[in-house]
């Protein structure tokens, strides 16, 4: 009886370790070169920020109080698309506008849990009479 061989070639641990070592050395060298290239730019940017800070201190002494009074940026919530499956949820296509409204949700049961599905006005109006 012939010995069965796996369909993939056998890995050579020594060759793998050598390849990983070469990759690590090449990655470290590339990182060192990148840091060497951008270091002067980072130093110059730091000096420019320090010079700006000194100029503002000299010309506008209250700038730090003003900067502290500016509220943090709060981004708008990301676009929420309508999650309705029109043909399944209310038996017809064409009601969906594609953009969910924040206050319109349809509640469904999934594995015993209630889930809230954000929907657009068209899907909400088409669904509510079906479920009421």
- Residue 28 inside a domain? The answer is yes
Distance between CA atoms of residues 105 and 85, nearest Å: 13
- Residue 60 inside a domain? The answer is yes
Q: Are residues 57 and 26 in the same domain?
A: yes
pLDDT in tens, 18-51: 999 999 999 999 999 999 999 999 999 999 999 9
Total domains in the fold of the chain: 2
- Residue 8 inside a domain? The answer is no
- Rounded to 5°, angle at Cα 49 from 63 and 74: 60
Which residues does 84 contact at the CB level (< 8 Å), separation at least 6?
A: 90, 96, 106, 117, 119, 120, 123, 127
- pTM flag (> 0.95): no
- Residue 25 inside a domain? The answer is yes
Q: Are residues 26 and 51 in the same domain?
A: yes
Query: Sorting pLDDT into bands at 50, 70 and 90, what band is 109?
Result: confident
Q: Which residues pair with 114 in a beta bridge?
A: 109
Structure confidence at residue 81 (pLDDT): 64
Q: Are residues 65 and 18 in the same domain?
A: yes
Rounded average pLDDT over 101-111: 76
Structure confidence at residue 119 (pLDDT): 78
Note down the domain range covering 101.
86-131
With pLDDT > 70 as the criterion, what percentage of the chain qualifies? 75
């Amino acid at each position: 009886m012939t010995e069965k061989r796996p369909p993939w070639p056998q890995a050579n641990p020594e060759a793998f370790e050598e390849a990983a070592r070469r990759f690590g050395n090449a990655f470290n060298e590339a990182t060192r070169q990148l840091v060497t290239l951008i270091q002067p730019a980072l130093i110059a940017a730091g000096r420019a920020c320090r010079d700006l800070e000194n100029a503002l201190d000299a010309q506008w002494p209250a700038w730090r109080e003003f900067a502290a009074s500016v509220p943090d940026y709060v981004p708008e919530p990301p676009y929420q698309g309508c999650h309705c499956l029109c043909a399944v949820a209310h038996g017809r296509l064409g009601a969906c506008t594609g953009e969910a409204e924040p206050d319109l949700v349809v509640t469904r049961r999934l594995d015993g849990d209630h889930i809230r599905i954000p929907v657009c006005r068209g899907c909400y109006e088409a669904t509510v009479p079906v479920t009421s």
